[in-house]
């Protein structure tokens, strides 16, 4: 039993059809509990008022925006090294989700920033890196759409993902160098003294878990769709041959 068994589309479909309802259910439960807890059963912050509660969407979506790219990087590498189709289809499936997460993080940040910083947008390093990340997602998806042959597209987008990762990291540090920040530091960390108060942190952990599960559920669903679409295309091709 190894992870490579799931490279077999059939095995993947079997396992994911069993896992998908569970993951989806857990995601719904975690998100509902976390959000209701966070929105209605935590006190207002003494300086930020109720706007603090946007943290329950902003922080998890920002986390997933980065992790989605990291996942795409790993699955692209797996495709380039071991040529497992499921792997690259998962990367393809994850890209629009990651892009949406980036957009959610940017928008919730803007909504929070307007009353708090007095501006919708500032050229702060964190904000700017997210905008750049959004552009990378855009390019990746556009390249998938532009190339007709699925294997060529998979190869090219994987190479782009690898090179893009290097340049995205580089941009992150370049942007830090370029401008001073307005954004606060890390909200959660295990070893630092100063972070979000436990009252807010507990529901936040829950929504973060919810976002991870939601992401997994969406990736599974979209990968299954991609596999089915491929099967359909293969069947159609066989029909035309016959």
Partner 1 sequence: MLALLLRDIRLATRAGGGFGLSLAFFLIVTVLVPFGVGPEGGTLARIAPGILWVGALLSCLLSLDRIFALDREDGSLDLLATAPIPLEGVVAVKALAHWLTTGLPLTLAAPVLGVLLNLPQTGFTWLTFSLFLGTPALSMIGAFGAALTVGLKRGGLLLSLLVLPLYIPTLIFGAEAAKRGAEGLASGTPLLMLAGITAGSIAILPFAAAAAIRVNLR
Residues near partner 1 (CB under 8 A): 132, 135-136, 138-139, 142-143, 146-147, 152, 155-156, 159-160, 162-164, 166-168, 170-171, 174-175, 177-178
Nearer to partner 1, 4 or 167 (CB): 167
Is residue 165 within 8 Å of residue 71, measured between CB atoms?
no
Query: Is the backbone of residue 107 left (phi > 0), alpha (psi -120 to 50) or beta?
Result: alpha
CB of 143 vs partner 1, minimal distance in Å:
6
Instruction: Identify the bridge partners of residue 45 per DSSP, sorted by sequence position.
Output: 49
Nearer to partner 1, 26 or 153 (CB): 153
CA-CA distances (angstroms) from residue 54 to 1, 93, 113, 150?
43, 27, 11, 40
Cα–Cα distance measured from residue 35 to residue 60, given in angstroms and rounded to the nearest whole number: 11
CB of 148 vs partner 1, minimal distance in Å:
9
Q: Which helix (H) or strand (E) holds 116?
A: helix 85-117
CB of 93 vs partner 1, minimal distance in Å:
20
CB of 151 vs partner 1, minimal distance in Å:
8
């Amino acid at each position: 039993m190894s992870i490579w068994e799931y490279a077999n589309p059939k095995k993947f479909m079997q396992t994911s059809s069993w896992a998908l309802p569970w993951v989806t259910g857990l995601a719904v439960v975690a998100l509902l509990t976390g959000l209701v807890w966070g929105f209605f059963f935590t006190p207002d912050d003494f300086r930020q008022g109720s706007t603090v509660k946007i943290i329950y969407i902003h922080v998890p979506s920002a986390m997933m925006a980065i992790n989605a790219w990291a996942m795409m990087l790993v699955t692209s590498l797996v495709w380039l090294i071991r040529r497992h189709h499921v792997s690259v289809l998962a990367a393809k499936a994850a890209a629009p989700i990651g892009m949406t997460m980036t957009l959610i993080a940017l928008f919730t940040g803007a909504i929070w920033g307007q009353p708090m910083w007095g501006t919708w947008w500032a050229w702060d390093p964190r904000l700017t890196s997210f905008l750049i990340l959004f552009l990378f997602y855009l390019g990746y998806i556009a390249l998938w759409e532009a190339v007709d042959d699925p294997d060529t597209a998979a190869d090219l987008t994987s190479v782009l993902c690898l090179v893009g990762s290097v340049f995205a990291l580089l941009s992150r540090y370049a942007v830090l160098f370029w401008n001073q920040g307005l954004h606060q530091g890390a909200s959660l960390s295990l070893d630092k003294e100063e972070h979000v108060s436990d009252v807010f942190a507990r529901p936040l952990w829950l929504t973060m878990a919810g976002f991870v599960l939601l992401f997994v559920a969406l990736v599974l669903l979209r990968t299954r769709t991609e596999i089915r679409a491929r099967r359909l295309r293969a069947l159609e091709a066989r029909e035309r041959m016959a």
